[in-house]
Amino acid sequence: MKKVLVLAAAMMAAVMSVKAEVGFAYDAGFEIVSSYIWRGQYNGGLSFQPDVEIGYDGEHTSLRIGAWGNIGASDYMFKKGEASYIDLEGNEINPNTKFMPELDIVGSFTACGLSVGFNHYYYCDGTSFFNWKSVADIDSLGSTSTTEVWAGYNFDHFFGVSAYINWYTTVAGNDLVYDDNGDPRRAWSSYLEVGYDYTFENIGLTLGAQVGMSPWASDLYGNEKFACTNVTLKLNKEWEFEHLTLDFFAQGTVNPDGINKDNVLIWKAGDEKLYKQKLSGAVGIGLWF
């Protein structure tokens, strides 16, 4: 885990030390958020989220690779007490009593508004960083990392409309469903999201709307069949300075799938709230260089 975090820190330091050249592009910065919300799911409370990408920007193309992290102040509290498991070597593993930041490796290529890319999610739990194993091994090992590929289109490029559509599918890692006999198979968990942003130019405020859905059964998104899992409204305000950008956002999110009076709001923090609370909100502040 230390090696992974050192690699991410070194990557950010390298980006900050390189001056922009023709074609060279980078984004680096961080956000501090009151809640970590991902695709309609409540993933934790107060968090620090660094982000760095480097690449090339042309007139109509862009190539990026980078790293994104999440360090939650409440990671230990939310995961404490969950059951341990035995790995393939016979060792008892209980990552849920450890401090487990998240590290994602991301990459994308964009041409004329059309984008393709990958996201690799790792949770610094002591298991394999690249969990590219067979279904049987993943079921026995209990590794948590996953890898997804995605494709999308931004309508702003040709049509001048700030709308987009993205499709994500998990292709490797801990993404299983079980048949009636209890045998595991790959779920190919997928997520479709459409969004639209409108900017009030006179005040520099952007209102964004997102709707996301999982098209078939997935433990990753907690649905047993097609389900709308994310409806989000988000306000964002940016202040641009000579060498940095400061932004503030506030958002509200509802996960309509299986919503009821018991899970709309789960007031106590802990395992019952994590991933299960259906109504979530967050505010955050970011600094970008």
Chain CA centroid to CA 43, Å? 10
For residue 139, the model assigns a pLDDT of: 77
Residue 111: CB atoms within 10 A of its CB come to 13
Residue 262 scores a pLDDT above 60:
yes
For residue 182, the model assigns a pLDDT of: 84
Is this model's pTM higher than 0.75 or not?
Answer: yes
Task: List pLDDT tens digits, range 80-110.
Answer: 555 566 666 676 665 555 567 899 999 999 9
What is the percent of the chain where pLDDT is above 90?
60
The SS3 assignment for 31 reads strand
| 54: its two tokens | 């480097």
Q: Tell me which residue of 166, 235, 154, 163 sits closest to 197, measured CA to CA.
A: 163
For residue 16, the model assigns a pLDDT of: 46
Checking DSSP bridges between strand 41-44 and strand 36-38, what pairing results, if any?
A: antiparallel
Task: List pLDDT tens digits, range 215-229.
Answer: 999 999 999 999 999
Task: List pLDDT tens digits, range 174-210.
Answer: 999 888 888 889 999 999 999 999 999 999 999 999 9
For residue 15, the model assigns a pLDDT of: 45
Task: List pLDDT tens digits, range 45-88.
Answer: 899 999 999 999 998 899 999 999 999 876 555 555 555 666 66
Dist CA 187 CA 217 (whole Å): 7
**Chain mean pLDDT for the chain:** 86
* For residues 245-269, average pLDDT: 93
Angle, vertex CA 236, rays to CA 38 and CA 118, nearest 5: 40
Helix (H) or strand (E) holding 139: helix 135-141
Q: Homologous superfamily of 2-288 in CATH?
A: monomeric porin ompg (2.40.160.40)
For residue 4, the model assigns a pLDDT of: 46
Dist CA 197 CA 92 (whole Å): 47
| 275: its two tokens | 């991933």
More confident residue, 218 or 131: 218
For residue 243, the model assigns a pLDDT of: 87
Give the DSSP letter of residue 76. Answer: H
Residue 51, beta-bridge partner list? 29, 68
Phi, psi for residue 75 in degrees, rounded to 5: -55, -50
